[in-house]
Chains A and B, each alone.
Chain A
Amino acid sequence: MSSEGTILDIQGPIVIARLPNARIGEQVKLGSQGLMGEVIAREDDRAIIQVYEITEGLRPGAPASAVGSQLSVELGPGLLGGIFDGLQRPLKTLLEQTGERIERGLMVPAIDRNKRWPFVPGKDLKIGAKVSGSTILGSVLENDSITHRILMPPDVTGELDDLVPAGDYTVDDVIGRVRDTQGNIHKLHLSSRWPVRIPRPFSKRDHALQPLITGQRIMDTFFPLLKGGKGAIPGPFGAGKTVLQQQIARWSDAQIVIYVGCGERGNELTEVLDTFPQLSDPRTGRPLMERTMLVANTSNMPVVAREVSVYVGMTIAEYFRDQGFDVVVVADSTSRWAEALREVSGRLGQMPVEEGYPAYLGSTLSAFYERAGRVETLNGNHGSVTLIGAVSPPGGDFSEPVTSHTKDIIQTFWALSKDLADARHYPAVDWLESFSLFVDVAAKWWHENINEDWMRLRNIALRLLSESEELARIVNLVGVEALSGQQRWTLETSKLIREGLLQQSALEPNDSFCSPRKQFLLLKLMIEIHTRGAEMLKVGMPVQELLRQPLLAKARRWKISYSSEEIEGLEQEGKAIEPIFDALRAEYASPLAKGESAARTGAGPT
């Protein structure tokens, strides 16, 4: 059902048209170029339309037509490895067709129409079988990493009338037919469509059970996020949000990663496009791009398409979830999306509440974040969507509306600090401001798979870090001499934990990804150094002697000296800790030895 009308008023991305029968959410084509937009409100016979493209050149009196459908995305094989704009147009195809600048009014299908995919029908599916939403019809080997499951559209139920044999098919070929209860025939294809603003249905929500392993120590060891969880990375500019998001996209143990660059820098997306094909998944060894998909709506691209892009990414994520995959959606940055909402609401003259944001900001954000989760799919599988949103608070002020609303919704909060970033402490995740609500659940996994001591050691490390914060304040007031030996040792080992464990370089090959085993081992060794040293102090060793140990500088380099595959080397280093302290203890056991040791260290390094 489509209806025709005319444009009445054009103001930036908002167009008002006379379109009597348009529904809210319906897609509209405007002007001779057919610019795409979406009805967001109706007043009498007039429709208020937000336009996904630049409206320059539109004039009053030009035609407007409602096309009858909502904005939807195409779901099927051929999405992975691609880069799409906020409307799911394939940017590489656009580049070939129209050159380096994006032209307006182009509709290019997301998936190549001519490519043939090797389809294998499900073994147990017989003609006449009852099929319903998300039933797996068969599979396509999309690439060497991913076997794509071909699903029934979620909203169709009936009997399978026909299904093609194994063979190569395009996404337009009919691969089968379903007769629904009313006797209507539905054709099946390798791809299907789903409206982006409606969450794809599932059978029920499941508990999230496993931590998402990102290979980043501050995240996995200290503030874990679960598969199916919701996390946020807020931080002022320059604090390293994008690098951290890219690290998650690179190294996390999800099966599918969808990276939504929403209102961010063009060069950063180019970097992802350039580097990901050369990187391989640390677990499978396959190129990362095979499991990755990019949605790119850079900051200079039209603002309404930016608002849509997060929904496009999320809908595609849900589609892979329904196939039984663990999917991670990385949205950089949700603030730009919220600003797009603000811009549209401002143009509509809606009453702003805080900093110009509309009253529905909070509910829109939470409805979106709630699309994440681990679920039992309609076909009985389990899949998850983990959502990690970057937040860009103006002036780094976490009390601003987008950050504070997001903080209420999410379960893991990785707060980035300008001070840490200025001191080049990366990732600049502030261990005092950050939190994770699911440490207990993650602990179960760590205890079963890595070591039962995880929770205890992690808590000791966090305690040392917060104690040292207190101590640093004292030092700043009265100087380090005012501290006891034990306190100075705590200060020193918390510094060791900060530099040797929390700091992690995205650029060092050995450090960029840290396996859970290596994470745990580093943690364990640092705590061991602390405990051993504390014992020494108890037997009367002066703290200066401890601070002079070369072990401390060496331990800071362990993370770089040993890759995740070279755990044995690290274990050897660990075994050397005990003899070092035993030797020290032996020296301090006899007063004679004490004198000797002092003389030796006094002579300087030999």
Chain B
Amino acid sequence: MSMLEYRSSAWARGGLLAMRNVPDVALGDRVVVRDHLGRQRSGQVIRSSEELVLIQVFEGTDNIDLERTWVRFLDQPFELALAPEMLGRVFNGVGQSRDGRPPIISRLSRNVNGAALNPAARAYPREFIQTGISTIDGMNTLVRGQKLPVFSGSGLPHNRLAAQIVRQAKLLFHGEGKADSQESFALVFAAMGVSHSDARFFEESFKESGVLGQVVTFINLADDPPIERLILPRVALTCAEYLAFDLDMHVLVVMTDMTYYAEALREIATGKGDVPARKGFPGYLYSDLAEIYERAGRIRGKAGSITMIPVVSMPSDDITHPVPDLTGYITEGQIVLSRELAAANIQPPVAVLPSLSRLMKDGIGEGMTREDHARVASQLFASYAKAQEVRSLAAIIGAEELSEEDNRYLQFADAFEQRFVSQGEHEDRSIFHTLDLAWEVLSLLPKEALTRLSEKDIEARYRSPDSE
């Protein structure tokens, strides 16, 4: 069957190609579409009936001549060939070479859709990853196997933050006691709809930190066909799963930008005539995103792990937009960037209050970071939230009218932003440094206001600036 080519195209629009009278085609099968210029495009069957077969064409349906288009059904699902040589390579969204080097040839290939992980097979993530960034390590701790997205807006430095995490992420020495060798670390970089300059920024950043040989890049640029973005994260994660669970590597997956992915999904869904739910996105957007995000994690009895940092841009900075909203329901927290902080030149502009790491609680404390970590983080959140209230009050009645205690909150908020949140792009702070900084700024507040800390903590670490 794979030798036969069909020319029974019924219609084509918006990345979809419909074929009449093609018998016995399995859902999900891969197809090769050859257009009238002889160029090949790849596609996948998304609906199959006896009368009509519907194909999504990853390179799009532009310039398709219905009468002169030939379609070959390969009678196999969409698979990716996998080999250790993928490290250091650059591929397009369907896994074809993009760096001018030969394609990957391997006996091992896997269905890019993966199969759902049995929840009973998962190992609970609890190993602290030190990113060297205070707002993350101290207040929104990342652990191995977690999916922690960066919610950002146009013009905010999410790429710089992601690159800094990639450069600095490491495990601390403790417990089992051995640091990871460079070989066991890999990075899978999945770029969907990013601009040429952003792609170059990442490439240079990887090169600079000397990890380029450990990076597998899957790239679909802003001017590449959007439909390819639908398969790209699946291809990239199939590679990540291979590196993590076959080759025992610790894989960090950076995916940018998931909003463009979702927009490609909307495009196809609209073309198919799916019932829209919110903002034209199909009702299955949640399940579809979950199929991608849930591929992060750890497996019992396996050494490797997949930690995921998706970048999600919020159109018009709207966190309730369906893509960030549904992402937040699936991922284990989020790092939110703030336009106000960026405008005040606080870099990285992490808005700590709406940020969250759900897996933090089991990755910190005695033996993992420091005994007082959880309480310090909780106190920072509470005090900074209170300080924000005081700020809005001061904006109304004027700072002169504030009580002495309220004034100390204002000082605290400024110090917190200037000294704790703000840090250099190449400043790699240890968790202990981060926690000491936290105590430094918390000590600007009166002891009595620190109710989330224990009396013992305060005795040991509170250093009032007045007393020195």
**Same complex:** yes
Interface residues of A (CB under 8 A from B): 8-12, 16, 54-61, 83, 91-92, 94-95, 99-103, 236-238, 261, 263, 265-267, 269-271, 273-274, 296, 298-303, 336, 339, 342-343, 345-347, 349, 352, 355-356, 392, 394-397, 418, 422-424, 475-481, 499, 507, 550, 553, 556-557
B27→A59 contact, CB < 8 A: yes
A300 pairs with B294, CB closer than 8 A: yes
Interface residues of B in 333-360 (CB under 8 A from A): 333-334, 353-354, 356, 358-359
- Additional 12 contacts, C-beta under 8 A, given A261-B119, A300-B290: A57-B26, A94-B118, A236-B328, A265-B294, A266-B119, A267-B125, A267-B145, A267-B332, A296-B120, A339-B287, A395-B321, A423-B382
Residues of B contacting A57 in the complex (Cβ-Cβ under 8 angstroms): 26-29, 77
| Cβ contact within 8 Å between A394 and B299 | no
Residues B363-398 near A (CB distance < 8 A):
374, 378, 381-382, 385-386, 392-393, 396-397
B381 vs chain A, min Cβ distance (A) = 4
Contacts A270-B122, A395-B320 hold; do A103 and B49 have CB atoms under 8 A apart? no
CB B157 to nearest CB in A, in angstroms, measures 22
B382, closest chain A residue (CB): A424
Known: A9-B47, A54-B113, A238-B334. Contact between A59 and B25, CB under 8 A?
A: yes
Q: Out of A16, A59, A349, A424, which one reaches B381, CB within 8 Å?
A: A424
A236–B320 Cα gap in the complex (Å)? 9
A-B contact pairs, 11 of them (CB 8 A): A59-B26, A100-B121, A102-B115, A236-B325, A238-B356, A261-B119, A267-B359, A346-B275, A395-B319, A480-B403, A499-B451
| Per-position 1/0 for B266-308, Cβ under 8 A of A | 0000000011111000111011001101110101100000000
Point out the residues of chain B lying under 8 angstroms from A236, CB to CB: 325, 328
A57 to chain B minimum Cβ distance, whole angstroms, is 5
A394 touches B278 (CB 8 A): yes
Most buried by B among A16, A59, A99, A302: A59
Is B95 engaged at the interface, CB distance under 8 Å to the other chain?
no
* Bound: A99/B386 CA distance, A: 50
With A60-B49, A95-B120, A266-B117 known as contacts, the answer to whether A303 contacts B287 (CB < 8 A) is yes
Other-chain contact of A299, B120, B125, B330 (Cβ < 8 Å): B330
Is the beta-carbon distance between B124 and A271 smaller than 8 angstroms? yes
B287 and A238 form a contact (CB under 8 A): no
Q: What B residues does A556 contact at CB under 8 A?
A: 451
User: Which residues of chain A come closer than 8 Å to B362, judged between CB atoms?
Assistant: 271
Cα–Cα distance between A480 and B397 once the two chains are bound (Å) = 10
Indicate if the CB atoms of A394 and B276 lie closer than 8 Å.
Answer: no
Alpha-carbon distance between A11 and B295 when the two chains are bound, in angstroms: 24
Within 8 A of A (CB), among B24-70: 24-29, 46-50
Most buried by B among A12, A92, A266, A480: A266
Shortest B85–chain A CB gap in Å is 25
Are B287 and A101 in contact (CB-based, < 8 A)?
no
- Contact status B118-A9, CB under 8 Å: no
Q: Tell me, rounded to whole Å, the shortest Cβ–Cβ distance linking B176 to chain A.
A: 18
Minimum distance in angstroms from B320 CB to a CB of chain A: 3
Chain A residues near B25: list those with CB within 8 A. Answer: 59-60
A299 to B119 alpha-carbon distance, docked (Å):
11
Contacts of B277 in A (CB 8 A): 342, 346, 355-356
CA distance A475 to B117 in the complex (A): 53
In the complex, what residue of chain B is closest to A296 when comparing beta carbons?
A: B119
Q: How far is the CA of A100 from the CA of B121 in the complex (A)?
A: 5
Contact yes or no, A301 B396, CB < 8 A: no
CA distance A54 to B392 in the complex (A): 52
- Cα-based distance from A269 to B275 in the complex (angstroms): 31
**Which of B123, B275, B277, B295 has most chain A Cβ within 10 Å?**
B275
Please list the 6 inter-chain residue pairs (A to B) with the smallest Cβ-Cβ separation, ordered nearest first.
A395-B320, A299-B290, A9-B49, A56-B28, A100-B121, A423-B385
Interface residues of B in 210-260 (CB under 8 A from A): none
